[in-house]
Amino acid sequence: MQSTGFKGNHEHADYIVTGAWSSKAAEEAEKYIKVKKVFQPSKPYVTVPDQEKWTHDEKAAYLYYCANETVHGIEFTPTAPESHNVPLIADVSANFMARPFDFKDHGVVFGGAQKNLGAAGLKIVIVRKDLIGKKQGITPAVFSYKEIIANNSLYNTPPTGGIYTTNLVLKWIKAKGGLQAIYELNLKKSGLIYGIIDNSNGFYHCAVDKRYRSIMNVCFRIGGASGNDELEEKFLKGAIERNMISLKGHRSVGEIRASLYNAITLEETQVLATWMNEFEKQYNTN
């Protein structure tokens, strides 16, 4: 939608590729516009090069990034990339409403509601007014910001159930003290798990650069940097016995992944922390 939604007279777009989702976005965009990656992505995805090393072009149609890479546990926080007056586009599907967010530096902010804002099927799109109406000629009306806005977001039948659910979630966030309170709670949850990892003498290992560790998705290996499949299977089995599910990492990378979205409480996170401490005490021979 971003690559067809606006292009103007520009011939290319710049992409910050930091993980699976920004990589897929760049691949899809190449069907509609020339894509330039501002740096050569690291493999595996564990960090983001300092911005002075990027080859960002001020003549680009836009600069695209994924605010939180769920598969690899990389997050741009607390500040967004510097776009040098080029429209900045952010995919915030995984951390929208998990922390305060500065919209003023962005041209487009979009994301699915399914992580922190409601049910799957609803998308939130926030567009700067001066970018409306700059679509490519091939853009379908349903992907045109101008058409969607002209029809009050009712160009086609909206997911009414999802919208209702999101309204309930927004009221819940407000009742919890607003975004700052939610953010502070998320820092406590992720800090609890990262603290155990960092103090395990290498038994638990998180490869992600500490500057870009996600507060939503804590990814780590057990038994060292390369992981020990047998230990990880034992850990996952024990977690299920303690009523914790879906801790296995994405199928493309394996490892362990603790997703600490807004709905996860501090008490639930402490259950995971207790199991991690117990497991380390039993199996860490370092």
For 32-96, give the DSSP string.
TSEEEESSPPPSS------GGG----TTSS-EEEESEETTTTEE--SSPPP-TTSPEEEE-TTTT
**Annotation says 115 is catalytic:** yes
Would you state the structure tokens that stand for residue 3, as one six-digit string? 């690559």
Which string of b and e fits 198-216 if b means at least 16 CB within 10 Å? eebeebbbbebeeebbbbb
The residue annotated as part of the active site, out of 7, 14, 115, 189, is 115
Question: Cβ neighbours of residue 177 under 8 Å, at least 6 residues apart?
Answer: none
Active-site residue, selected from the candidate residues 7, 21, 135, 189: 21
**Catalytic residue chosen out of the listed positions 7, 14, 91, 189:** 91
Does 134 participate in catalysis according to the annotation? no
What crossing angle do the helices spanning 179-198 and 266-283 adopt, rounded to 10°?
0
Quick check: is 275 catalytic? no
Catalytic positions are 21, 91, 115
